[in-house]
Amino acid sequence: VAPYTITYFAVRGRCGATRIMLADQGQEWKEIVVSFEDWMKGDLKKTCVFGQLPKFEDGGLTLFQSNTFLRHLGRKHGAYGKNDCEAAQIDMFNDGVEDLRTKYLKMIYQEYETGKDAYIKDLPNHLCKFEAVLAKNKSGFLVGDSISFADYSLFEVLLNHLVLSPTCLDSLPALKSFVDTLSARPKIKAFLDSEDYKKLPINGNGKQ
Ligand code: 0HH
């Protein structure tokens, strides 16, 4: 039986990285899909700590905040570094990914028509920071020598950016190889090839 449940709208959205992480860690999970109509009734919203989805359940533990899901899974499945110093660096990089994700979501939901071109033009200035980190760390991961939740989050945000701008990694070889390596991990590959993954749009407004 699946110990984990994700309750969310029918999008990859803020659960993309969590799902990829669960798949790569060999975990099973249940999905409860909430329609916009059901959400608008307001009953579920009232039960959500911050009035928003996604919700993540691990047995009797109920969590909100997508980055909290990643940290919880990181702790449980050995993807949070091998000591406190690595854990702190993993937090730092995950927060950096969150900054990029927030900019991306703002562009997608608030200024796609007016801001997309400028966003893509400015993108190398953000991606080059991650490029430098990966070029320096010979393991191919952001921190230390094994995969962490921050790697899954970076990977997922890069997949979305490759849809937005297919050439965005052409001058960033370490990031390109990072995406290739993670895409080729057997459980990630199987998940990315699955209908469960492919059927969901990236975002809720049809833009990508
Ligand atoms: N910091 C939170 C986190 O990381 C942010 C959660 C959040 O923004 O978990 N939740 C939004 C939905 S995420 C929310 O609950 C964006 C997906 C939009 C898809 C909507 C499509 C619906 C059609 C099926 N928003 C609703 C609300 O605030 O009432």
d(CA 51, CA 43): 10
* Ligand 1 in reach of 19 Cβ (< 6 A): no
- DSSP category for residue 79: -
pLDDT tier at 11 (50, 70, 90 boundaries)?
A: very high
Which H or E element spans position 58? strand 55-58
In order, the DSSP letters of 161-190 are HHHH-TTTTTT-HHHHHHHHHHHHSHHHHH
Question: What pLDDT, in 10s, does the model give residues 131-158?
Answer: 999 999 999 999 999 999 999 999 999 9
* Ligand 1 in reach of 36 Cβ (< 6 A): yes
Task: Please report the atom of ligand 1 found closest to the CA of residue 105.
Answer: 16
Length of the chain: 208
Task: Please report the atom of ligand 1 found closest to the CA of residue 52.
Answer: 15
Enumerate the H helices of 49-111 as residue ranges: 66-76, 84-110
- Based on the number of CB atoms within 10 Å of its own CB, is 93 exposed (0-12), middle (13-18) or buried (19 or more)? buried
For 44, the 3-state DSSP assignment is helix
Percent of the chain with pLDDT over 90: 99
For residue 80, report the distance from its CA to the centre of ligand 1, in Å.
Answer: 26
The ipTM estimated for the assembled molecules is: 0.95
**Tally of CA atoms within 13 A in the half-sphere of 95 that contains its CB:** 6
Q: Which residue's C-alpha comes closest to atom 2 of ligand 1?
A: 65
| Best mutation site among 12, 14, 71 for ligand 1 pocket (most ligand atoms within 8 Å of CB) | 14
Residue, of 2 and 1, whose pLDDT is higher: 2
pTM over 0.95: yes
